[in-house]
């Protein structure tokens, strides 16, 4: 498995879950910042390797083999993210690019030990689930703050969109990964909420609430 192949598989894996259908050439090209023709080339190659089913003009679908390979790349990526945040004290929004490189390191024993070293985590610092060695994914328990109802409690596990402005806002309100958020009240007509975040109580607009992932339980 080359680096490029791993990246394609990973991206198809993500797109399949998002779109819940075959993945089109253009969708892939956009996500991978490449051209449709390059995608076609790679699809043919991955189809030859039985990683996916490719039908001309009809998009692709991962086989079991492909799914497993892709999930393993995702597993490695997310474990490294946990390492970077928990052990090297990176902030959770700085780790993606580095993990993007580390996910391609090839050693089963390394990942086994890393997993143990980190205490067999189930979720990465963004709240996304870490697939197990066999590619099974625990159902994500994260949802948007805006989905919560009065008196529900969530723990902040990530953001949906991370503009500097938004992150700065969260910073000012002292909301970060792990912050407990309690929904004190909710306005139906505009979706705004009164919340308690840590020690402080304040209002957040729908827009704010729609971009914050929390883990309920």
Partner DNA sequence: ACTAATGTTTAGCTTTGCCTAAAATTATAA
Partner DNA sequence: TTATAATTTTAGGCAAAGCTAAACATTAGT
Q: Which residues bind a copy of itself (CB under 8 A)?
A: 84, 87-90, 94, 97-98, 101-102, 105-107, 109-110, 113-114, 117
Q: Which of 36, 98, 118, 144 binds DNA (CB under 7 A)?
A: 36
Look at residue 113 and give the partner it binds from a copy of itself, DNA, none, a contact being a CB closer than 5 to 8 Å depending on partner kind.
a copy of itself
Q: At which residue do the structure tokens 């993007």 appear?
A: 100
* Cα(157)–Cα(125) distance, integer angstroms: 7
Question: Per rule CB under 7 A, is residue 180 in the interface with DNA?
Answer: no
Look at residue 151 and give the partner it binds from DNA, a copy of itself, none, a contact being a CB closer than 5 to 8 Å depending on partner kind.
none
CA-to-CA separations, 155 to 88, 115, 177, 194, 196, in angstroms, rounded: 22, 23, 8, 16, 11
* Cα(123)–Cα(142) distance, integer angstroms: 10
Q: Hey, which residues between 15 and 34 contact DNA (CB under 7 A)?
A: 24-27, 33-34
Look at residue 84 and give the partner it binds from DNA, a copy of itself, none, a contact being a CB closer than 5 to 8 Å depending on partner kind.
a copy of itself
Size of the site for DNA (CB under 7 A): 26
Q: Hey, which residues between 37 and 56 contact DNA (CB under 7 A)?
A: 37-45, 54, 56
Nearest to a copy of itself of 84, 148 (CB atom)? 84
Residue 118 CB, nearest approach to a copy of itself (Å): 10
Question: Per rule CB under 7 A, is residue 106 in the interface with DNA?
Answer: no
Q: Hey, which residues between 147 and 166 contact DNA (CB under 7 A)?
A: none
The DSSP line for the chain is: --HHHHHHHHHHHHHHHHHSSPBPHHHHHHHTTS-HHHHHHHHHHHHHTTSEEE-TTS-EEE-HHHHHHHHHHHHHHHHHHHIIIIIT---TTS-HHHHHHHTT---HHHHHHHHHHTT--SB-TTSPBPP-TTS--PPP-EEEGGG--TT-EEEEEEESS--HHHHHHHHHTT--TT-EEEEEEE-TTT--EEEEETTEEEEE-HHHHTTEEEE--
Look at residue 114 and give the partner it binds from DNA, a copy of itself, none, a contact being a CB closer than 5 to 8 Å depending on partner kind.
a copy of itself
Nearest to DNA of 45, 143 (CB atom)? 45
Candidates 3-11, 135-143, 189-197, 203-211: pick the segment binding DNA (CB under 7 A): 3-11
Residue 153: both structure tokens together? 């409690």
Look at residue 2 and give the partner it binds from DNA, a copy of itself, none, a contact being a CB closer than 5 to 8 Å depending on partner kind.
DNA
Residues forming the site for DNA (CB under 7 A)? 2-5, 24-27, 33-45, 54, 56-59
């Amino acid at each position: 498995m080359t680096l490029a192949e791993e990246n394609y598989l990973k991206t198809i894996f993500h797109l399949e879950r998002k779109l819940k259908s075959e993945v089109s050439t253009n969708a892939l090209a956009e996500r991978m910042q490449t051209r449709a023709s390059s995608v076609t080339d790679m699809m043919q190659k991955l189809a030859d390797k039985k990683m996916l089913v490719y039908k001309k003009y009809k998009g692709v679908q991962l086989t079991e083999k492909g799914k497993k390979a892709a999930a393993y790349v995702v597993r490695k990526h997310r474990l490294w993210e946990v390492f970077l945040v928990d052990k090297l004290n990176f902030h959770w929004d700085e780790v993606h690019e580095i993990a993007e490189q580390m996910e391609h390191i090839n050693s089963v024993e390394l990942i086994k030990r890393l997993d143990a070293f980190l205490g067999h985590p189930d979720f990465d610092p963004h709240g996304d689930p870490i697939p197990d060695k066999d590619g099974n994914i625990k159902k994500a328990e994260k949802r948007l703050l805006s989905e919560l109802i009065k008196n529900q409690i969530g723990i902040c596990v990530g953001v949906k969109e991370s503009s500097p402005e938004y992150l700065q806002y969260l910073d000012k309100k002292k909301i970060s990964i792990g912050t407990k958020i309690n929904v004190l009240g909710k306005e139906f007509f505009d979706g705004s909420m009164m919340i308690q975040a840590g020690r402080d109580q304040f209002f957040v607009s729908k827009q704010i609430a729609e971009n914050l992932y929390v883990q309920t339980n």
